[in-house]
Structure 1
Amino acid sequence: MGDSHLLQLPQELLLLWHAHRTEILISAGFLVAIVRLTLHWRSTKTKAILTPPLGSPVTEKPIRFPEVVQEKTVPTAQPVKTNGPRRVKGVKKVKKQEQAKDERPPIDKIQPYIFYFTLGGSTKAYAEKLAESFILPDAKDRVLPPQVHDLTDIDYDDFFISPPKYDSPGTAAFYTILIPSYNIDTELHNFLSHLQETHHDFRIDTAPLQTLAGYSVFGFGDMQEWPTEQEGYCVQAIEVDKWMAKLTGKKRAYPLGMGDVKDDVELRLEEWRRGVQTIVDDLSQGKGLGEGVPGSGDPIESEDEADEDYDDGETLITITADLEDIRAPIPVDFTTSKKSTSTTTGPPKEMVPVNSPTFNSLTKQGYSIIGTHSGVKICRWTKSALRGRGSCYKYSFYGIASHRCMEATPSLSCSNKCVFCWRHGSNPVGTTWRWQVDPPEQIFEGILAAHYKKIKSLRGVPGVRSERFAEAMRVRHCALSLVGEPIFYPHINQLLAMLHAQHISSFLVCNAQHPAHLAALGPVTQLYVSIDASNRDSLRKIDRPLHRDFWERFCDCMDILRQKRYSHRTVFRLTLVKGFNIADEVAGYADLVQRARPGFIEVKGVTYCGTSTSAGAGLSMANVPFWEEVQEFVLALAAELKTRGVQNDGMEYGLAAEHQHSCCVLLADKERFYRENAAGEGKWHTLIDYEKFFKLVEMGGEFKAEDYVSAEPTADWAGWGRGGFDPRDVRVDRKGRPIEQKDEGRVVEI
């Protein structure tokens, strides 16, 4: 019985399975799903709970990660090399600011400075007006009267390498700079170059002007000519503002102001002035410039926020050395598709573009501009000689008739800004040639054509003599001394050769600032060097040279001139300016003569041009020496040279000729240009045998200055004490009335 029940059990189980299999399968499925979900949920947790082995008691233990991390040291993994390129991003090391700011005494007084640059005088007027309105009546004890300076009159080293020093420790300087915009080369370019060079000079601190209380710049522009900043609107002012921000260590006290000279310049300048005055008043009360938001005082605007540096996980960030002094751009990204900024410079610009302010100013003064950098002009002595009223000193000294002389220059640019220059600010300036270069053939043909055109325009002038007009249409001499620095022209030797090939003699004048050009100079009929001072300080004051090493260049030219005395007729040209280079400088001039040993020394009183620009340079009629003062100086110089000649090597210079109307006296080397005839009578021979000179040039060999000295002696009427006026001409007064000639009969030999 029991066995039968056991046999029936599987059958019953099978019946139960068939009867309830649906419920069993569904329940099993739910159970499996619950188990799987539970396991999945446990695996997604941060493993804070460990699952014990199957069959062991379930005890949950939290894992203490901090203790595990501190107990174990994870070895540094080796970098995994990838096949693709990798970017290297340089990060500029930010220099720690010196603690000098905190150590400085608090500011209790402000000394404002107003710097300006001008060509026509308008910016100067704005600067003077600004100075008048800058005085604060309520703060006279805190804000000192402003000082106004023309950028062409100062030594940049005195103001833009280190600020002025004061007796009171609480006094600080505040710079305001007024900058016009020009699309031509002016001395403003040299000021910008000075700021840039000062910033990049490793010998000078990164922020040498950081002791300034602050600075602000205002720019004058013309939106009709340059509508946007990218096209040149106030571009020079923007550059000055940028470099000043770097030199002062972000001391921009007030935003860069800009005004359109043909629209709202008065309004914008007044708004800017009020803002600057408010800042100056705050500074004088010790409030400082404030902290500012990030980026305040930066030299230039920051880029778009999307371009800011960030760590993308792919860039290797390295700390590099200071990159400020590296000129060329460093490629830092070889994978980006961003278009890089082109570093190529455009073609050289024209020195004097047509219709530029420089072009208009020079043509208004009577110049004819040839090509892009040359010029020609009719001298007043040419007009005088055409009417038989006398020639200039070159006729008395060297036999050159003024009506047959052409005054020209192949380079309107100069490296000096002499106080007595007739072209104050109207001609370009520069220390290196950075413009287009016209071929010498174009210059030669252009200056001749323009000169003849100007001569033809004088044929209807009353008093012009027909025979002299005919002679004037055949130029026999070219004075390369019109304006600028003729020796600066890269092809000056080729141009001189073209003149000599046409039997046109050449007088070339240089300013002793380009020794390399002077050393490479070829044959020239007579070589002049302007000697406007006898020492460094006087030269800087009167010539205002652009080169920092102007005195070293000057001395190098003296040594080169001594070498060329054997192959060229060399001349010292001394321009006497009362109050600048006359008093107590005779010995200094004698030192230079002894060093260079020129063949001739021309001593000439300055000619006052009578313009507002010359007055702005500090020159007036009071600076023009009288004829008697020039004579006194020449006698003193001749005596000094004679004394030195006796003591040393026999050097002796004598009074060879004079031209009173030009206020000019000629000293000549007695050894080479004083000759005795068969009767034993001594005569000066300063005239030139021009035909002999041309033959010597055509022969191509070496020759000396003595080889083309004229056999004809210097005219008696040109001798010392005779006045130097040709008696065959008629001297007239300002109204054209003849002046009776007086023979003074004064002859003095030294």
Structure 2
Amino acid sequence: MESLGLWELPDELLYLWHTHRAEILLGAGVVFAVIRLVGHWRESSRTVSKRLSVPSAKSPRAIASLPLKTQAIDGDNPASVAVTKPAPRPKAGPKRVTGNKPLKARAGNNRKIDTIQPVIFYFTLGGSTKAYVDKLSESLQSTEPNSNILSPKVHDLTEIDYDDFFISPPEKYSSTAFLYLLIIPTYNIDTELSNFLSHLEETHHDFRIDTAPLSGLAGYSVFGIGDRTEWPTEPEGYCTQAIEVDKWLARLTGRKRAFPLGMGDAKGDLETRLSEWKEGVDVIMKDLASGKGLGEGVPGSGDAAESEDEDEVDVDDEIEGGSSMKRKAAKKALTDDLEDLKAPIPVDFTTTKSPSESLSQPKPMVPETSPTYTSLTKQGYTIVGSHSGVKICRWTKSALRGRGSCYKYSFYGISSHLCMEATPSLSCSNKCVFCWRHGTNPVGTTWRWTVDPPDLVFAGMKEGHYKKIKMMKGVPGVRAERFSEAMRIRHCALSLVGEPIFYPHINELLAMLHKEHISSFLVCNAQHPDQLATLGPVTQLYVSIDASNKESLRRIDRPLHRDFWERFQRCMDILREKRFTHRTVFRLTLVKGFNLEEEAEGYADLVEKALPGFVEVKGVTYCGTSTAAGAGLSMQNVPFYEEVKDFVLALEVALKKRGLDYGIGAEHAHSCCILLADRKKFFRTSKSDGVQRWHTLIDYPAFFRCVESGESFGPEDYVGEPTPEWALWGNGGFDPRDERVDRKGRPKVLE
């Protein structure tokens, strides 16, 4: 029989295959699937059996080794063990993020606290807020014996250095916990509060400072004083500055709000609301003193839930006022068309400028309805326009009565009754301890107000000055000839208050003065180098040099700019260049206990760097205000004339050691002022007799000729006549043609 091939099957089988092949294949697939499922089920059963296997119920040791949940024993029968399924092991893979923010432990919570020190900060223009603060301080005095709540300390925000209190808590590592209480009024003008708010904001955004640098405080609370007749609602301005302070302190302290923000209407419920707030603060202080801390809440009463998230700072927070739709629109406007910008945006890294400042319309520096306007006018100022002022100097009154002119007459030949003292900017960027303006003038680091045209400023200054002069015509002792002369201004001292160089149109104003043959003496405080570099012709340029090192300058001038020392150094470099085109003067104000002792060498270094033509050294004048006293200044800080003379002699020696030829050119003992001058420029041979003499006076007609010529010129081109004999060193500096009197107007007999 011939064998069949592999595929050679009978015709019947082939017929069956072709007829039922679909059923055969489907059935084979089903059988295969069943076999696979059975195998998988058996494997799973073995795995579960291994996981659920337990030791023998008869073994006590085995029972004890079971998890706690499996040891549910019914009576004494160990066999009645209820076995529960253990938790499955976590699978390998990335950690799941739940979205819950873990709470960080607060700095200082574990620190041992023995005493609570309340510190009250306040601001005031008219003095009413201080009266409330005094009552509050008195009411917070603890009457309990051996109380661990100390007597409150009170600080005026205008008289402290913010870095001492609002970058880190004072005495951070001591066992005393500080509780900050801030009484913040709201004004519709720029005041020191604006700079305080800027400081808090800059501290928060400064990457060099911890996120919550004030977290070491025991807590804080803010009370705002507003006026509902002016601002009926919060969005329109009612207590907005207090709200801002509360917001920034929440961020700087890690939300250690000890008691909610209080607000009172100055013309309504202020005393009631302040009393309620004070009672709440009392309770908080007792809790802190007893070790209870700020309590529990969300989480902790210091972390109370807010209407806005205080942990997030975005553009919406920086845009003030308006609805959420307006804020979103403003935010969108700030980010649109960024690709169209062709140049980098200038940023002032010293004072962070919020978008709200750039979007809002500028407002007057000193509105007529503001308390600043009222205070300055009471002090004798005439406010010109919205940011300028003029005032009669006491030396002008003295010269009108023949009782002597100021040191500028002895040094430079300026008769005080022919001089107008004015300023185009009432705002300043320093808060000097010796400032006699009572701290009422505005302060700022950038010009953010409306700008009056220079012709309006110039006309207003002259009008205000002449009105003041006319008021002197009925004063006993005024000389008729000097009164007539005073009705024609010949000199202008731009040094009244504030920072004249701050005015955006200062060069145009100087040109108007010179056009009418009025000399210009401009004083700046070495904090605006860009404006100093672009300054045009001026008869004499003063720069106040109140300290020889960074720390002393910070203590004395209390500058608002954070990079104040760098700005100061840049001004020294600019002044060195300007000595070829301007009569430059260093103005040193000596404050005993601040910059008088052992600083002659430091001042000599600054003179060597800037090489000014003159160095005026003057003892500080104490004005006797509470502002000065709060800054640590008293009559004890006023040096005697002998002390000023000793300092000048030491400075002269220090300059000679550096190869600088400066000598004492003149003095004015009545003003406690002495002048050092560059010998190479101002000690020259007189044309009249060929004798070498000091020539510190100014030839004013020659100066105006130089300005009108349009050509470049230097200080040597308008040196005047020899310094009068009575003004030279050792002769006192008082004009013998005038009469010295005492404070009661009686002739003064000199020894």
Scaled to the shorter chain, the TM-score interval is 0.7 to 0.9
Output the CA distance in 1 between the equivalents of 2:741 and 2:299: 74
Q: Distance in 2 between the 1:556 and 1:329 partners?
A: 32
What is residue 691 of structure 2 aligned with on the other side?
A: 681
Aligned residue in 1 for 2:371: 357
C-alpha contact (below 8 Å) 2:113/2:176 kept by paired residues: yes
The residue aligned with 2:383 is: 369
Structure number with greater CO (CA < 8 Å, separation at least 6) is 1
One-letter amino acid matched to 1:190: N
SS for the counterpart of 2:286 is helix
Distance 1:232 1:140 in 2: 44
Query: What stretches of structure 1 of length at least 5 have no aligned partner?
Result: 1-66, 71-90, 309-321, 331-336, 646-650, 743-750
Residue 115 to residue 493, structure 1, CA distance change in 2 (3 Å): same
Equivalent position to 1:269, from 267, 270, 274: 274
Q: Using a 3 Å threshold, how does the CA distance of structure 1 residues 639 and 174 change in structure 2: closer, same or farther?
A: same
- 8 Å contact from structure 1 (residues 686, 713) kept in 2: yes
Given candidates 526, 534, 551, the residue that maps to 1:537 is: 551
Is 1:424 aligned to residue 433 of structure 2?
no
Q: CA deviation at 1:338?
A: 6.2
Q: Deviations over 1:502-536 (max 9, x none)?
A: 11110000011111111111111000011111111
**Deviation (angstroms), 1:575:** 1.0
- 1:197 aligned residue (202, 221, 239): 202
Tell me which of 711, 728, 744 is aligned to 1:701.
711
Q: Determine the C-alpha separation between the residues in 1 that align with 2:429 and 2:327.
A: 37
Alignment-derived partner of residue 648 in structure 1: none
**1: distance between equivalents of 2:602 and 2:124?**
34
Q: Which residue matches 1:324?
A: 313
Contact 2:159–2:630 (CA under 8 A) maintained in structure 1: no
Give the match for residue 168 of structure 2: 162
Q: Counterpart of 1:418 in 2: which secondary structure?
A: coil
* Cα deviation, residue 704, structure 1: 1.1
* 177, 182, 188: which one aligns with 2:187: 182
Match of 1:507 in 2: 521
Q: Distance in 1 between matches of 2:421 and 2:101?
A: 57
Query: What displacement does 1:164 show?
Result: 2.4
Structure 1 residue 585 displacement after superposition? 1.2
Specify the SS of the correspondent of 2:374: helix
Q: Which amino acid aligns with 1:630?
A: V
Question: Which residue type is aligned with residue 156 of structure 2?
Answer: D
In 2: Cα distance, 1:293 partner to 1:299 partner: 5
The answer (yes or no) to whether the contact 1:176–1:217 under 8 Å persists in 2 is: yes
Q: Distance in 1 between matches of 2:716 and 2:661?
A: 17
Letter of the aligned partner of 1:183 in structure 2?
Answer: N
1:103 positional shift: 7.0
**Aligned counterparts of 1:508 and 1:243: Cα–Cα separation in 2:** 39
Cα distance in 2, alignment partners of residues 391 and 487 from structure 1: 26
List aligned pairs for 1:173-322, cutoff 5 A: 173-293=178-298, 301-302=306-307
Correspondence for 1:392 among 406, 425, 448: 406
- Which residue of structure 2 aligns with residue 587 of structure 1? 601
Cα deviation 1:291-346 (Å, max 9, x = unaligned): 3247965799427xxxx9xxxxxxxxxxxxx963557999xxxxxx9676553733
Cα offset, 1:428, TM superposition? 0.2
User: C-alpha displacement at 1:480, in angstroms?
Assistant: 0.1
Residue 728 (1) aligns with residue 737 (2): yes
Change (3 A) 1:590 1:353: same
Look up the equivalent residue of 2:701 and give its one-letter code: E
Q: 1:113 to 1:93 in 2, by over 3 A?
A: farther
Distance 1:621 1:329, change over 3 A: closer
Contact conserved, 1:409 with 1:481, CA < 8 A, in 2? yes
Distance 2:117 2:670 in 1: 48
Deviations 1:595-634 (A, max 9, x none): 1111111111111222333333332222221121211211
Superposition deviation, residue 537 in structure 1: 1.5
Paired position in structure 2 for 1:669: 678
Q: Is 1:123 aligned to residue 129 of structure 2?
A: yes
Task: Measure the CA separation in 2 of the matches of 1:629 and 1:171.
Answer: 42
Out of 358-367 and 281-290, give the one that drifted further: 281-290
Specify which of 700, 703, 725 is matched with residue 690 of structure 1.
Answer: 700
Is 1:631 the counterpart of 2:645? The answer is yes
Worse overlay, 407-416 or 695-704: 695-704
Give yes or no for contact 1:575–1:606 (8 Å, CA) kept in 2: yes
What does the per-residue CA deviation read over 1:545-584, in whole Å, with 9 as the maximum and x for residues that have no partner?
Answer: 1111111111111111111111110101111112221111
In 2, the alpha carbon distance for the partners of 1:644 and 1:598 equals: 15
Distance of 2:466 and 2:109 partners within structure 1: 71
Shift in CA distance, 301/103, structure 1 to aligned 2, threshold 3 Å: closer
Change (3 A) 1:466 1:140: same
How many Å separate the matches in 2 of 1:327 and 1:577? 46
Q: Distance in 2 between matches of 1:539 and 1:329?
A: 32
Letter in 2 for 1:266: E
Counterparts of 1:411 and 1:510, CA distance in 2: 11
Structure 1's 538 and 93: CA in aligned 2 closer, same or farther, altered over 3 A?
farther
1:718 aligned onto 2:718: no
Please, which of 130, 141, 146 is the counterpart of residue 135 of structure 1? 141
Q: Which amino acid aligns with 2:607?
A: V
Residue 84 (structure 2) aligns with = none
> Is structure 2 residue 512 aligned with structure 1 residue 517?
no
Task: Tell me by how many angstroms 1:96 deviates.
Answer: 4.3
CA contact (8 A) 2:108 2:216 kept: no
Counterparts in 2 of 1:352 and 1:102: CA distance versus 1, 3 Å: closer
Shift in Å, 1:586: 1.2
Structure 2: distance between partners of 1:102 and 1:452: 63
Contact map agreement 2:160 2:631 (CA 8 A) in 1: no
Partner amino acid, structure 2, of 1:688: I
In the alignment, the residues of structure 1 paired with residue 669 and residue 212 of structure 2 have an alpha-carbon distance, to the nearest angstrom, of 55
Q: Residue 408 of structure 1 aligns to a residue in which SS?
A: strand
The structural deviation recorded for 1:283 is 1.5
Per-residue deviation at 1:112? 2.0
Distance 1:147 1:740 in 2: 48
Q: Secondary structure at the match of 1:529?
A: strand
Partner of 2:576: helix, strand, or coil?
helix
Distance change >3 Å, CA 166–CA 99, structure 1 → 2: closer
Matched, 1:562 2:576: yes
In 2, are the aligned partners of 1:514 and 1:557 still within 8 Å (CA)? yes
Distance in 2 (alpha carbons) for counterparts of 1:564 and 1:480: 19
Do the aligned partners of 2:316 and 2:327 also contact (CA within 8 Å) in 1?
Answer: no
Is the 1:542–1:580 contact (alpha carbons within 8 Å) kept by the matching residues of 2? Answer: yes
How far apart, in 1, do the equivalents of 2:318 and 2:108 lie?
A: 36
Change (3 A) 1:323 1:136: closer
Q: What residue is the counterpart of 1:6 in the other structure?
A: none
**Residues 1:398 and 1:93: Cα distance change in structure 2 (over 3 Å):** farther
Per-residue CA deviation, residues 346-400 of structure 1 (Å, 9 max, x unaligned), is 3101000012100001111111111100000111111111122211111110001
Kindly indicate whether the alpha-carbon contact (under 8 Å) linking 1:245 and 1:299 is maintained by their aligned counterparts in 2.
Answer: no
1:139–1:281 contact (8 Å) kept in structure 2: no
Q: Is the 8 A contact 1:108 1:285 kept in 2?
A: no
Amino acid at match of 2:537: P
Which residues in structure 2 correspond to 1:70-109 (within 5 Å)?
A: 96-100=102-106, 104-105=110-111, 107-109=113-115
